[in-house]
Amino acid sequence: DAGVIQSPRHEVTEMGQEVTLRCKPISGHDYLFWYRQTMMRGLELLIYFNNNVPIDDSGMPEDRFSAKMPNASFSTLKIQPSEPRDSAVYFCASSNPGYPETQYFGPGTRLLVL
């Protein structure tokens, strides 16, 4: 079975540009999570969805960040405009109905903002 799929795996962009990260959860999973990993702050939950509805976005750092889940098999995390401090690895994870705690992670997108 395919795991969580993220694209792109690597992204290099210049400050001020828009960045869109994509995630396809495991089929049948109804929870989807976006995390950010940095050396300074470790792994942080940004936002999560249940049945395509955002449940908790308290971890989204600021208005430059937005996330959508238009259907059960696709989600995006957008940064506009991007800044160098947004450089990090962004992970998407998904989990089964009724078991939001047990999460399966994608390989991550490594973002570098110059």
Partner 1 sequence: AQSVTQPDIHITVSEGASLELRCNYSYGATPYLFWYVQSPGQGLQLLLKYFSGDTLVQGIKGFEAEFKRSQSSFNLRKPSVHWSDAAEYFCAVVPNYGGSQGNLIFGKGTKLSVKP
Judged by the rule CB under 8 A, the positions of this chain that interact with partner 1 are 4, 31, 33, 42-45, 48, 50, 55-56, 91, 93, 95, 100-108
Q: Which is nearer to partner 1, 55 or 72 (CB)?
A: 55
Q: 């939001």: which residue's tokens?
A: 100
Q: Which is nearer to partner 1, 38 or 80 (CB)?
A: 38
In angstroms, the Cα distances linking 27 to 32, 72, 76, 105 are 11, 8, 16, 13
Q: Which is nearer to partner 1, 13 or 45 (CB)?
A: 45
